[in-house]
Chain A
């Protein structure tokens, strides 16, 4: 029983991180119509920056509890990186998709190496953050309190993002722009600004994903590529450009993955891709996709 609960928690934990990554990917596509292949790498950057900051802080004798504050800092850094990179993409908004895919693919290759240039080959960890919180007992088993925080952040992010998009003026601008770029600019919206902020938010989400997960794991080279593919599966299932889609997709993927690990370890990965392929067949735009 307690095993079941913990596996469910594990899935939710995994889902919240996946959601953060996929929602960012989806938001960027929804508004800017760009499939950002470098998105997973933004997630990795978030992890590395946070782990590095935490390491420094601990070394400087900052009490572990305070290092919690470094998580938003890490995510913010990625958002800034996004703001810096967005101008690079501007020439491609009106160009064919293949160009957008390729320029972001190039970006992926570059960033992956830049990470290595900055932090080298050794895995970075930030677990002092995790140990600030006690573990919770489930029957005979224990579950790290921090993981519950990660789940909470995932939920909060989902609600927050929803609120921003559907309850604020800025959200209206976002949706207007995603509906029809020309119309939006005709209505006097500063589309350029909308794009920058959408991209920054998307990067922030990815960065946050990396920042909250790194204390429970390690920041390692290549983590971004794996994340990207999983995020792809998520948005394909949920629907590119759909927030609900990212949420449901993330839940499906993480629960299927857990079930795969528990019951049929041999084809754990293949199942995910098959689900994606099947969804694309019956509903090419994904479960919640429009466009």
Chain B
């Protein structure tokens, strides 16, 4: 590996386009866009069948991961209801949704996806939370020539290896590697003095990936940091006391954890009572991402609280980005809770598809073939509640600027939320490998293209 050059950290972070701002301000890449909900501009061309447009939404309805699955489903349903209220796609084809439980297991999910396509005759497959499932289902979707837009299941592995040349598969949320890198940048930006790092991560690909990319990026941003403790609790662990004590025994400056969902709730409640938060800084990837209302008021303030580097409902806030304000209002009205990044992702999925269908219809008239719709999805830019979303044509991956904030207890919410004045945004293009970058197995054997890209191109920060 070529020796990294040295640059000043402030310059470095500047070059990465890191901005720390209030939720009232537009973050990087935000451009005030048209209202989200509005009747289609041009009237549809040609004859449109009024047969329903069948979508299959697979997500976690059972198991601990249901805390992520339900928001995803709710976002999908809300978008479908709104679109159907206007008569459906192209004003004609109402959206019908059949669901399946992702918790049935990867192998059962493969079966179920085939059933949805071959028997359920779905036009679109969407949903999916687990990064263990997209690499399994992506190839199947290609196999079935089934238009598929994954909401999450964010592993780089999907488009790096499992489906290197996607035709039918897309994914809307930021990739996994962005999580680790975002937390690393957030850490370097906020606590440049930390050196001793402890890790507690769920023992599966997500935790492994987060740890690896965080460490890689931090080495460059804060040279001389060392890993002083590691724990790999099984996903679904609820007793973290020994992991917490182990981490504390190494007296680190910072604890970095990718634990999420019910596990995270159990974790922070125990960590709180073990005085962990008084002893060290804490950075997370998904702390507040899971479901805003799942995190209690007792959650400590000032934790670098990740949201899967995607979206938190208070950002962009105020009237600066009405798209989000109105989305959150409608969502809260519909479900009596606040959306998370899954809700936003599955909501935007249907609207981007809607836009692609409308464009395709303008091009070819009538109901467009999937091929035409896909051509419109590729390279599409879109103003979403979370900001500007762009689908890269080469790997069908949706990109939006990465965001991460700091936990704070505000009077206006019954749960811990983001500090409105301290939100970190990073232009996504600066923390992911560029389109041309070789994928794993093409001249390098790093776990992801991003990892290789960081190792080869990132300088070492000084000062």
Contact = CB atoms under 8 A, between A and B. Distances in A.
In the complex, are there CB atoms of A and B closer than 8 Å? yes
Contacts of B66: 116, 120-122, 221
A261 B294 contact: no
B242 A122 contact: no
A123 B231 contact: no
Given A6-B245, A220-B64, 15 more contacts: A3-B248, A10-B245, A116-B62, A121-B69, A122-B67, A130-B273, A131-B273, A141-B275, A143-B274, A216-B273, A218-B265, A220-B238, A258-B242, A261-B243, A269-B234
B291 to A, nearest CB: 7
Interface string A112-132: 010010001111010100110
A5 to B, nearest CB: 10
Interface in B257-314: 261-263, 265-266, 269-270, 273-275, 291, 293-294, 296, 298
Interface string A178-203: 00000000000000000000000000
Contacts of B457: none
B269 A121 contact: no
Q: What are the nearest 3 A-B pairs in CB distance?
A: A121-B66, A123-B262, A220-B262
A11 interface: yes
A266 B234 CA distance: 10
B419 interface: no
B64 A217 contact: no
Interface string A197-222: 00000000000000001001110111
B207 to A, nearest CB: 12
B242 A222 contact: no
B265 A11 contact: no
Interface residues of B, number: 40
A232 interface: no
Contact of A262 (B64, B242, B269, B275): B242
Contacts of B96: none
Given A121-B69, A125-B269, A127-B269, A222 B64 contact: yes
30 contacts: A3-B245, A7-B242, A7-B246, A10-B245, A14-B242, A121-B66, A121-B70, A122-B262, A122-B294, A123-B64, A123-B261, A123-B262, A123-B265, A123-B294, A125-B269, A125-B296, A127-B296, A146-B273, A147-B241, A216-B270, A217-B239, A220-B238, A221-B62, A221-B64, A221-B66, A222-B64, A222-B236, A261-B231, A265-B230, A268-B232
A226 interface: yes
A135 B273 contact: yes
Most buried by B among A11, A13, A135, A261: A261
Contacts of A217: 238-239, 266, 269-270
B69 A216 contact: no
Given A113-B62, A121-B61, A142-B274, A218 B298 contact: no
B63 interface: yes
Best-buried of A120, A127, A130 by chain B (most CB within 10 Å): A127
B234 A141 contact: no
Nearest to B235: A222
B238 A218 contact: yes
Contacts of B165: none
Interface of A: 3, 6-7, 10-11, 13-14, 113, 116, 120-123, 125, 127, 130-131, 135, 141-144, 146-147, 213, 216-218, 220-223, 226, 257-258, 261-262, 265-266, 268-269
Contact of A223 (B69, B230, B238, B296): B238
Contacts of A3: 245, 248-249
Nearest to A269: B234
B260 to A, nearest CB: 11
A128 B270 CA distance: 13
Given A7-B245, A269-B234, A14 B269 contact: no
Contacts of B249: 3, 7, 262
Nearest to A14: B239
Nearest to B263: A220
B275 to A, nearest CB: 4
Contacts of B262: 122-123, 218, 220-221
Nearest to B261: A123
Contacts of A14: 239, 241-242
A144 B274 contact: yes
A265 B208 CA distance: 13
A14 B233 CA distance: 15
A135 B275 CA distance: 9
A14 B237 CA distance: 13
Interface in B403-431: none
Nearest to A11: B242
Given A135-B275, A142-B275, A123 B67 contact: yes
B248 A123 contact: no
A35 B270 CA distance: 33
A144 B244 CA distance: 13
The CB with the most chain A CB atoms within 10 A, among B66, B236, B238, B246, is that of: B238
